[in-house]
Amino acid sequence: MALNERQHSEIVGQSKSVSTTKRATVQALEEILYEPVQVLDHGFVRVIDYMGDDSAIVQAARVSYGHGTKKVNEDQGLINYLMRHRHTTPFEMCEIKFHIKLPLFVSRQWLRHRTANINEYSARYSILGSEFYLPKPEHLAKQSSSNRQGREDVLSAEEAHYVLELLKSDAEQTYQHYQELLNEDGEGQVIDPNRPALARELARMNLTLNYYTEWYWKIDLHNLFHFLSLRADGHAQYEIRVYAEAILKIVKRWVPFAYEAFLKYRLNGAHMSQPALAVIKSLLSGKSVEQSESGLSLREWRELMVLLGRDV
């Protein structure tokens, strides 16, 4: 993971600062505060700030004072209940702010989640760095024949080499052209004093989507869990899933009770439709049920059978 001089200096400065506070803090999260967690080849996730902990969720649910109850199992049981019954507002009492570095194509997908506060690096004001994402060969796969959004078989070594060379040469060439449009090299020196520099807001348009951007992303725990339920799922695109998995590990440090409840009732749980529940009840009673009479579409039927561990 490449940190530029500014980022490294900022992280060192933040890590040395110590503040006295009366608010709740989480030691496990304090230990990694400001520290970048590497994601992909040049990306990272790091926690900048946070508010609240597991007890804040309990306090909001009970509208009580102090750190919840004196019995830990009661607090954990209440958080499980809130998650199980989809009571969302107590989880909104906790917030966290991240500094994230990620490829542009991942950031465009990420922005589909509109329930966060975000401020992105401005390529109108500053010059974008020369770092771009190149997948590892094992993550290069053919288009799925059954899923328009998915991948299928991994490319052969020869095919992967060809694709990587193409991606690399395209990214390098477009960045060279970007510098020429700016009339500025990597050291900030003018390339040709007789040629005007194109405005930064225009010069950026030719860059490929695998170049890296950065942003500050602040979100409450309820909406973060919604993001993670979609992006940490095995069906999510690999490049955004690894960011979600990194954030999930941070959440485990921050709110361990809520994290366990999320795994149990959301990420590794299942929500049943009325027809699906009727099928399960019939199967439990020993009845044979066919897809044609279940009230489920063929796709829903297959998903249910996979969930139940039955042959489709």
Catalytic residue numbers read 231
For residue 194, give both structure tokens: 């007789």
C-beta separation of 115 from 221 below 8 A: no
**Is 213 in a helix, a strand, or coil?**
strand
C-beta separation of 267 from 232 below 8 A: yes
Where is 143: in which H helix or E strand? strand 141-143
Q: Kind of pairing, strands 43-51 and 117-120?
A: unpaired
Q: Kind of pairing, strands 117-120 and 141-143?
A: unpaired
C-beta separation of 123 from 130 below 8 A: no
Alpha carbons within 13 angstroms on the beta-carbon side of residue 222 total 13
CA angle, 111 then 116 then 119, to 5°: 75
Nearest residue to 148 via CA among 246, 235, 41: 235
Where is 177: in which H helix or E strand? helix 157-182
- φ/ψ region of 63 (left if φ > 0, alpha if ψ in -120 to 50, else beta) reads left
- 91 contacts: CB under 8 Å, gap ≥ 6: 57, 82, 220, 221, 222, 225, 258
Q: Kind of pairing, strands 117-120 and 37-39?
A: unpaired
Nearest residue to 40 via CA among 211, 156, 169, 253: 211
